[in-house]
Amino acid sequence: MLIGSVFLANAKAAPGTVIRLNPSNITGLPDDVFEVQLTIENGYDVYAWGVDIQIVPLERVITPIAYLEGPYLQGIGIDTIWPIPLYDKVAGQAKIGCSRSGPVSGASGNGVLATVTFQVLEAGDSPIGLINIKLIDSYGNLMPFTAYDGSYTGPTLNLVKKEVLPSRTIAVGTAASLKSSVKNTGTVPLYARVRWDMIRDDGVMFNAYAGQSFWTQAPPSVYLYCNAYTGHYSGWGWTEVGTGPYLDAVGDGNYLQAPDLTNYNWDPVTGENDYPAGFPIVGRFDFEDIALAGRAVSNVALEAYVRYDAYDEGLDLDTYAKPNGEVGPTTWIGSEWGTANWGWNEPRWIGSTWSEDNPLLFTEAGINAARIRYFMYWTGDNLPHGNAYIDAIRLRVDFSPVAPVDPPYLIVEPGQLVAMPDALFYPMIYDVGTYRCTVFAEYRYFPPPPAGYAAVWNRGIKITPTFKIFVRP
């Protein structure tokens, strides 16, 4: 492809000077290494040259790994200057050039300006373009030329257009199945996934992948209330008011009350105290179970409905948990706190949420196994505080707008056409409108590229269907 031509009235090069790559087109597979020569034809009095080689940015397909000065400007008794080539991987540009040194004429004829070695990192194609080319004669003039790009062709994967079958109309309250199929046109297995980018007619944008269930807004949070209580400790401590399980509902007359700690002392330096049985401790609490039903958990938080007779920063209900039922270590998950008025509060003094510290809480089994081990009433000073009360506790389960959160993928064999899992869209009343979609396959090599390089996803040819969400009469 013709990419550049410069003609100056005082240029001394003969007409027909050509800059090209040899070979101009390369085919290969990931991990391959190949060389491309930058050549010149019909040059005349070429004293210096410079070229930027353009490839796909961010090392998404290929990357240059070695550069070698060609012999074109070299000769008996002639010195050359070969600056260290510069590679900008963000822009995908390698800058190379060379010059003769001293009062000598330029080179003429045909030859090799440079050899560049590339390594293949990922599946996909890449241009090997020649831009910002400069030829300079021995008088310092820019010289005319014609230049041609090259290319690298690797394994690719694309959507099969007739297999992209979104319904054109979708009723609110009906799960819409967005379908897609892909074909591996290469000679090696490829990871494959399909992405849907959607823009509603009012400008709202969102995306999802084949195999995900998705909402334009996250599904409402679910609250799991306490449904069982086991008093592990007896003697001095909390008072059980009413009947068990005590912390299952607000305002039912069943609650737990911690004693006034005014008459007991705690030394913040030594940690020693003169409480009759250490800190006043409660017991173990179980919660209602949950069925995720295709939803993905984004956060699990403990909330307590708490009140104190008096409130200051020294009041805390230290909370501990057995995250996996009765398995594993007991973990501190913060301190429930309150004011003189009843209210729901999350623990304080922790740097992260409970679910961030315990990844099993992102699973249905992990949530259903979670137990709060006990509460300890703690004060940081010796001032009068009065009693503390807990009327209810619950787990708040927040959801992601997509499930699963990580986009699923399939491994597609060479030549194979595969129907991808449906993307399931659950439209609500606020989703009514017309949606313009951009759908494309994303693919990468299997296995991933060498260590030190990112495993990126390249995109295939896009398809642009539309659909409409309406309210059924």
Tell me what percent of the chain is helix, strand and coil, each rounded to the nearest 5. Answer: 5, 50, 45
Which of 391, 316, 373 is closest to 348 using CA atoms? 316
* Residue closest to 395 by CA, chosen among 296, 298, 304, 292: 304
Q: CATH topology of 18-153 equal to that of 222-399?
A: no
Residues 6+ positions from 417 with CB-CB distance below 8 Å:
160, 163, 181, 182, 183
pLDDT on residue 314:
64
What does the block give as tokens for 243? 């009947």
Strand partners, 395: 224, 302
**Residues 322-353: pLDDT tens digits?**
655 555 667 788 888 888 889 998 888 775 56
Q: How far, CA to CA in Å, does 176 sit from each of 69, 203, 226, 312, 426?
A: 59, 21, 36, 53, 6
Contact 342, 282 (CB under 8 A): no
Q: Which CATH architecture has domain 18-153?
A: Sandwich (2.60)
Decide yes or no: CATH 3.30.540.10 for domain 157-216+405-470.
no
Q: How far is CA 403 from the centre of its chain?
A: 14
Each domain of the chain, given as residue ranges in start order, spans 18-153, 157-216+405-470, 222-399
What 3-state class would DSSP assign to 360? Answer: helix
pLDDT digits (tens, 9 = 90+) for 86-122: 999 999 999 999 999 999 999 999 999 999 999 999 9
The per-residue pLDDT for range 16-40, each reduced to its tens digit, is 999 999 999 999 998 899 999 999 9
The predicted pLDDT at position 197 comes to: 95
State which fold the 222-399 domain adopts.
Answer: Jelly Rolls (2.60.120)
Burial 298-312 (b: 16+ CB within 10 A, else e): bbbbbbbbbbbebbe
Residue 57, helix vs strand vs coil: helix
3-class secondary structure, 365:
helix
CB contact burial 333-348 (16+ within 10 A = b; e otherwise): bbbbbbeeeeebbebe
Structure tokens at 169: 């109309």
Angle at 197 between CA 194 and CA 199, to 5 degrees: 160
Answer with the residue of higher pLDDT: 92 or 6.
92
DSSP string, 289-337: ----TT--EEEEEEEEEEEESS--TTEEEEEEEETBTTBS--EEEEEE-
Q: Residue 429, SS3? A: helix
pLDDT of residue 381: 59
Asked if 191 and 444 count as a contact pair (C-beta separation under 8 A), the reply is yes
Instruction: Give the closest residue to 301 by CA, choosing from 255, 333, 337.
Output: 333
Count of helices and strands (H, E) across the chain: 2, 35
300/319 Cα distance (integer angstroms): 15
Phi, psi of 159 (to 5 degrees): -65, 150
| DSSP states of 179-228 | --EEEE-SSS-EEEEEEEEEEETTS-EEEEETT-EE-SSPPPPEEEEEEE
Whether 72 and 112 have beta carbons less than 8 Å apart is answered as yes
Q: How confident is the model at residue 275 (pLDDT cuts 50, 70, 90)?
A: low
174 pLDDT above the threshold of 90: no
pLDDT tier, 165 (very low <50, low <70, confident <90, very high otherwise): low
Calpha distance 442→459 (Å, rounded): 5
The whole-angstrom separation of Cα 181 and Cα 177 is 13
Q: What is the pTM of this model?
A: 0.74
Instruction: Rank 108-117, 265-274, 424-433 by mean pLDDT and report only the highest.
Output: 108-117
> At 208, is the pLDDT very low, low, confident or very high (cuts 50, 70, 90)?
very high
- The predicted structure's pLDDT at residue 281: 72
pLDDT above 90 covers what percent of the chain? 58
